[in-house]
């Protein structure tokens, strides 16, 4: 399991970096996003008491469904038709940001616990950045902190070594 986590971490971090290039970057970003989710599942199976995958899946379902519907319906068209619709869209976005703040807080707790149990500075940094991101999510800067936390999580996966005894 350790070698799988290490290898997936390398590939996901490479995809994260390659995602910054124009034109082809979106494909690498999607690959990195999927691999990071797979890593969450693998880390959860290690027995450290983390719930990274569950909270990530909650985020996917709750965020992707409303944003997909709004995109399909054409938010711009509706926001120009009435002020009431604009306020509803703003309230939906604020509710989604609060949901992200709530779930990222629990992801941060899992990462910080994982960092303590494995004595990994990289997981601790990722957990700290995710926690800051959770508290600043409602003002949109939180997304930046959560994005900054991902490479540290991936570095933690690359350098992960079992600690022998779970705490």
Give 4-44 pLDDT, tens digit per residue. 999 999 999 999 888 888 888 888 988 988 999 999 999 99
Question: 52-63 pLDDT, tens per residue?
Answer: 988 988 888 888
Higher-scoring residue by pLDDT: 162, 84: 162
- Any domain includes 38: yes
Domain that holds residue 114: 2-158
- Any domain includes 163: no
- Any domain includes 167: no
For residues 160 and 9, the answer to whether their CB atoms sit within 8 Å is yes
Q: How far apart are CA 61 and CA 119, in angstroms?
A: 32
pTM of structure: 0.82
- Any domain includes 90: yes
Q: Counting beta carbons within 10 angstroms of the beta carbon of residue 100, is it exposed (0 to 12), middle (13 to 18) or buried (19 or more)?
A: buried
Q: Residue 131: which residues within 8 A CB-CB, separation 6 or more? A: 104, 105, 108, 109, 112
Q: Terminal CA-to-CA distance of the chain, rounded, Å?
A: 19
Question: How many domains are there within the chain?
Answer: 1
In whole numbers, what is the pLDDT of the chain averaged over residues? 85
- Any domain includes 164: no
């Amino acid at each position: 399991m350790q070698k799988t986590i290490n290898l997936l971490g390398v590939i996901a971090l490479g995809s994260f970096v390659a995602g910054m290039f124009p034109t082809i970057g979106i494909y690498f970003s999607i690959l990195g996003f999927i691999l990071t989710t797979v890593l969450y599942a693998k880390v959860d199976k290690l027995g450290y008491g983390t719930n990274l995958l569950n909270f990530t899946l909650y985020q996917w379902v709750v965020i992707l469904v409303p944003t997909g519907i709004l995109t399909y319906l054409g938010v711009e068209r509706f926001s120009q038709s009435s002020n009431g619709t604009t306020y509803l869209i703003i309230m939906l976005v604020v509710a989604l940001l609060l949901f992200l703040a709530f779930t990222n807080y629990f992801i941060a707790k899992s990462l910080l616990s994982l960092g303590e149990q494995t004595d990994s500075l990289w997981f601790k940094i990722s957990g700290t950045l995710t926690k800051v991101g959770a508290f600043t999510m409602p003002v949109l800067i939180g997304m930046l902190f959560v994005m900054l936390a991902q490479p540290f999580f991936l570095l933690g996966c690359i350098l992960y070594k079992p600690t022998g005894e779970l705490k």
